[in-house]
Amino acid sequence: MAESHSEQHRSRFKVALVEPNNQPAPPWVTQGLEGEGIEFIIHECRTPEELVKIAGDADVVWVFGDNQIVTAENLALLPRCGALIRSGSGTDNVPVEAATKLGIIVANTPEAVSDQVSDHVIGLLFAVVRQVALQDRLVHAGMWNMRAGFPNWHVDGQTLGLVGFGHIARLLVRKLRGFELTVLAHDPFVSAEVMESFGVRPASLEEVLSQSDFVSLHCPLLKSTHHLMSEREFKLMKPRAILINTSRGPIVDEAALLRALTEGWIAAAGLDVFEEEPTPPGNPLLKLDNVVATPHIAGYSDRYLELFWRYSMETAIDLSKGRWPRSYVNRSVQPRWNLK
């Protein structure tokens, strides 16, 4: 049986930020943590020896964005660790499965990026529907030809399909409500009741793909979602359908997407993420006029850093007080601590 939180933590609760991603912590973060009686240390750890020195006695180990040091093998070096915090939404660069087996909670901060990512989905959708990117390139090149970049779609009254129904997808539904869309969603981890409370119809993946005019991907990158969108799935979609991907690049089989876009299985795509990042300049998808591409920037805005810090700090404080974090990805974990 797990020790109670108070029994295990007789000494000062310690949080170690071992991958700050070149981001200095704002003074209010340090003050906020220390004001709650938390020992807080920041040090970029590049070797297992540094990890042991800095975080070997840490209760919470924190990575800000990228992570090269907290690997499945290195978790054995963190005997006191009860939780990992990854600032950001995706946890594909964190050893979730290994952490779960060890009773380590893997917390993240999806709410820090949800608002801006949902805005970006809308931006990509309208950039494709209204042909903004292509028209911009033509006008800058001195060409004034409405037929060359004709907006051959409309949004109001269409069907939007969501693959995944987490924070971002729910915000997207709310923000697009005025367009009177029919919204279908597929997410094996979200109940039909939750979807219906947002005015969304639960559906199978096949139904979402075959019935939607616009398909937006919002699922995490897992073994089960790698190349979730491949030849079979693209052939299920409408020939005039648009794919939007702001989740993770490897969810889409790019070779299959290239065929889908060039052979007319689907009409267009808006992509913020790619299988390889940075995507090579020679990527044939970038040569297509029916692709709008951005450089994995959907989660960024003028306030993204503040939100990353704030939600991560609040997560650390919750854990120090023996509370479950507001967001964590390994729901099956049997934690090392007894939490409220």
> Which positions are catalytic?
248, 277, 296
Question: E strands along the chain, which residues?
Answer: 3-4, 14-19, 39-42, 60-64, 83-87, 105-108, 159-163, 182-186, 201-202, 214-217, 242-245, 268-271, 291-293, 337-338
Enumerate the β-bridge partners of residue 35: none
Structure tokens at 292: 């709008």
In this structure, the number of other CB atoms found within 10 A of the CB of residue 10 comes to 6
Residue-by-residue DSSP string for 272-302: S--SSSSPPTT-GGGG-TTEEE--S-TT--T
- Secondary structure (H, E, C), 124-191: HHHHHHCCHHHHHHHHHCCCCCCCCCCCCCCCCCCEEEEECCCHHHHHHHHHCHHHCCEEEEECCCCC
CA distance 134 to 149: 6
